Amino acid sequence: MDLHPALEPLAPLVGTWEGAGEGEYPTIKNFDYIEEISFTNIGKPFLEYRQRTWNAENALMHVETGYLRVPAPDTVEFVLALPTGQVELCEGRLEVAKDEIRLFLEGRILNTSTAKQVDATSRSYALLGDALKTSFDMAAVNHPLQRHLTSNLSRAEQSSERITSVP
């Protein structure tokens, strides 16, 4: 299926990526995770996005889904739904250079009334050659914007059907 012309700069990002990540926040213990994300072309002027994470015992951790939009050549929008009770509406810039694609996004958050309070987020995705590096900062539970997640991913042949166990 042809990629919509607006998505041409993001063509190298399309596919499935997997690797390891680390999590931190002042209120919790540091943790490691395994991550798989996919950006899928469905012929529309946006990419479908899915993320899943697992711990070392293969138990599912955080998951999220959404859409990556490119309304202008240097502008990206990321619309995300999180099962922890947030919707995240990110906007930012797209930088494309030889062998380098970088996305920098700031997120506005809506929390359900029972969710842990997240006030703002900041995401970055850097595709450097064959390596996709991601970072996620958040202002949450009364703490200012700071790092929660960092991951280093590489291209996967196809989406894994990982067996998950109940933690």
Based on CB atoms, which residue is closest to ligand HEM, 23 or 92? 23
Number of residues that bind ligand HEM (CB under 6 A): 23
Q: Which stretch binds ligand HEM (CB under 6 A): 40-48, 96-104, 115-123, 124-132?
A: 115-123
**Applying CB under 6 A, does 52 fall inside the site for ligand HEM?**
no
What is the DSSP annotation of 14-59? Answer: -EEEEEEEEE--TTS--EEEEEEEEEEE-SSSEEEEEEEEE-TT-B
Q: Do strands 86-97 and 131-140 pair parallel, antiparallel, or not at all (unpaired)?
A: unpaired
| Phi (first) and psi of residue 74, to 5 degrees | -115, 15
Grouping H, G, I as helix, E, B as strand and the rest as coil, residue 116 is: coil
Minimum CB separation from ligand HEM for residue 113, in Å? Answer: 15
Residues that bind ligand HEM (CB under 6 A): 21, 23, 25, 27-28, 31, 33, 35, 53, 61-62, 82, 86, 88, 116, 118, 121, 136, 138, 140-141, 148-149
